[in-house]
Amino acid sequence: MKKRISWLLSVLLIAMSAAFAQAADPLPSWNDMASKKAIVAFVEKVTTPGSPDYVRPAERIATFDNEGTLWSEQPMYFQLFFAIDRVKALAPQHPEWKTREPFASVLKGDLKTALKGGEKALAQIFMATHAGMTTTEFENIVKDWVARARHPKTNRLYTGMVYQPMLELLAYLRSKFFKTYIVSGGGIEFMRPWTEAVYGIPPEQVVGSSIKTKFEMRDGKPVLVRLAELDFIDDKEGKPVGINAHIGRRPIAAFGNSDGDLQMLQWTMAGQGARFALLVHHTDGEREWAYDRDSHIGCLDKALDEANAKGWTVVDMKNDWKRIYPDQ
């Protein structure tokens, strides 16, 4: 009997030790390499009272790009998949689209031809699918899409293609009283309906590109109507501008993956005191995609050079992450 009790106690102690070890590791999907160590070291020094680098909680601001940093972005930005699906859904109301580009090619499934028009073609697609409705109507459309739409290659829900290591990082920072923000070139009202459920980031902590809206009374009720007119592009030089306008504090940590995030990281690192900049480098062609300098989506060229020159942290997805997506 004593032997059995002793054995049970040993098993219990082993289980408790394993559970404690798991709980003690805030980033279990990260391999124990330089990137993980740099993150933990930074967080510990800015959150430990008495540390010369201590930062009070109100100033613990961390900003994250979305596309390619928090979720995948290949073979094209997910919001463009949404816009294309919306073109198909709206096509019965627009018979003229059968012969009018870029819509005609979108409906034929010929995206290469549809996007030959560059920014002008993209603007036409986005304005036709994102404007002309109230903000509430658009929010409901987005919620319905993210609940059912699936990626053409992985067959996962798009919100299932978020990065598990980054979800852990967000949670880790918040456990240390950081306030986490999304600062993305994507549409602010495209992201806000789902970021809280997926990332734990509420809509008021999402900064993104936007179109203009106006106040109207419809059937005696006040509404905000989305107009087919660009308001702000939250990309490249626009990111620090968006941070200043929406957040009002310079971040002490910034996370991106492309040249579109370079200015956000530069702005963050130019502040006083301890700072942290990280780039997610897509190096895993088996579990995700491998791309950087020559990619038409998420090009990582100048930012990678600056990161190497200034000692910013660069995550090698293939080697640094044990898994990519939550279900792997």
pLDDT in tens, 68-96: 999 999 999 999 999 999 999 999 999 99
Confidence check: pLDDT of 62 > 50: yes
Q: Report pLDDT for 1.
A: 53
Catalogue all structural domains in the chain, each as residue range(s) with its CATH number: 30-74+161-320 (3.40.50.1000)
DSSP state of 130: H
Q: Report pLDDT for 16.
A: 46
Nearest CA-CA partner of 251 in 298, 198, 242 = 242
User: How does the average pLDDT of the chain come out, rounded?
Assistant: 94
Which amino acid is it at 15? A
Measured in degrees and rounded to the nearest 5, phi and psi for residue 281 equal -100, 120
pLDDT in tens, 306-318: 999 999 999 999 9
pLDDT in tens, 179-192: 999 999 999 999 99
Kindly report the length of the chain.
328
- Residue 152's alpha-carbon distances to 113, 156, 157, 161, in angstroms, are 19, 8, 10, 12
pLDDT in tens, 201-213: 999 999 999 999 9
CA–CA gap between residue 129 and residue 300 (Å, rounded): 29
Lowest mean per-residue pLDDT among 4-8, 143-147, 255-259, 271-275: 4-8
- The number of beta carbons lying within 10 Å of the beta carbon of residue 39 is 22
